[in-house]
Structure formats: C-alpha cells, structure tokens
C-alpha cells in the first residue's frame, strides 16, 4: 500500500497516531474529526494515500461512499441527527487542509451547530447553460 511519510492521515491509517475509530476494514477507515463542527462529525479515508477525490480509483471510491452512507445512517439512528452533509474538499482553494483524500460526514441537528453553508448564486446568462453542459460532457 502506498503511504506518504509526512502525511498525518497515513499515520492514522497505520495506527501510528491515535484516532477515535468508527469503522475499519482493510481499505477504509472512518474516525471522529478532532475539531468537529457538530456532534459525531466523522472523516472517512482510504488507507492508501491519494491526494484528493480526483485521484481515487473508482471501485475504492464506491467503497468509501458506501461506508460514508453507513456512518450517516448510524449518526441518524444513534445520535438523533435529522440531516447530514457529505463533503470532500479538493485543493486549498476549496478548503482542503489535509492533503490525503477524506470525506466529511457531518450530522446536523435541530437547534444549530458549527456549520454554515451559504450558496450565493452567480448572476449568469441562463441561455449559456446548454453550451456549458456540453463542454463538461465532452470531458466525461
């Protein structure tokens, strides 16, 4: 398995740094975020080092998101979450601080928590959307 020496999540994956583990198998680890934005905020990582979401092989990515769903279901059943946010940041501009792929599974509760997601729509010409869709489509 490919690990990086200076990566904190590689160290967590190998058990060299302690974490509060929620789920583990040979490929994936889920553990509590040390600076949670809500009660039970969990990170799901691949044990192998990939810099971010864009780099992860498809089958492994499927597995990570299956685990993320199980974690979210458990947060709902066990902690009383009434909503969930699933988030993965790619690169600094998007807020990625740890450069080892991880998915945030963030339970949401009545009465608020530490997460605010504020979508501020751009003013765009909606006639351009089909052309933009075709541009993206051509890369898939």
Residue 104's CB is within 10 A of a number of other CB atoms, namely 18
User: What is the full DSSP assignment across 57-121?
Assistant: -HHHHHHHHHHHHHHHHHHHHHH--SEEEEE---SGGGT--S-S-EEEEEEE-TT--S-------
Residues 63-92 that bind ligand AMP (CB under 6 A): 89
CA dist 105 and 52 (Å) reads 16
Among 4, 96, 108, 115, binds ligand AMP (CB under 6 A): 96
Q: Does 7 bind ligand AMP (CB under 6 A)?
A: no
Q: Does 49 bind Zn ion (CB under 5 A)?
A: yes
Q: Does 95 bind ligand AMP (CB under 6 A)?
A: yes
Q: 2 or 97, CB closer to ligand AMP?
A: 97
Q: Is 49 a catalytic residue?
A: no
CA dist 53 and 86 (Å) reads 13
CB of 59 to Zn ion, least distance (A): 19
CB of 133 to ligand AMP, least distance (A): 28
CA dist 55 and 72 (Å) reads 24
Judged by CB under 5 A, the stretch of 16-24, 27-35, 48-56, 77-85 that binds Zn ion is: 48-56
Q: 29 or 81, CB closer to Zn ion?
A: 29
Please list the active-site residues. Answer: 102
């Amino acid at each position: 398995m490919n690990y990086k020496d200076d990566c904190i999540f590689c160290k967590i994956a190998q058990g060299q740094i302690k974490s509060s583990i929620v789920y583990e198998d040979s490929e994936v680890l889920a553990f509590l975020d040390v600076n949670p934005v809500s009660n039970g905020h969990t990170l799901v990582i691949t044990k192998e080092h990939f810099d971010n979401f864009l780099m992860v092989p498809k089958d492994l990515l499927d597995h990570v998101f299956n685990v993320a769903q199980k974690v979210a279901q458990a947060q709902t059943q066990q902690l009383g979450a009434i909503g969930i946010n699933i988030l993965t940041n790619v690169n600094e501009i998007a807020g990625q601080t740890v450069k080892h792929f991880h998915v945030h599974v963030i339970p949401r509760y009545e009465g608020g928590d530490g997460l605010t997601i504020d979508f501020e729509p751009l003013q765009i010409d909606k006639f351009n959307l089909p052309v933009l869709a075709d541009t993206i489509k051509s890369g898939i």
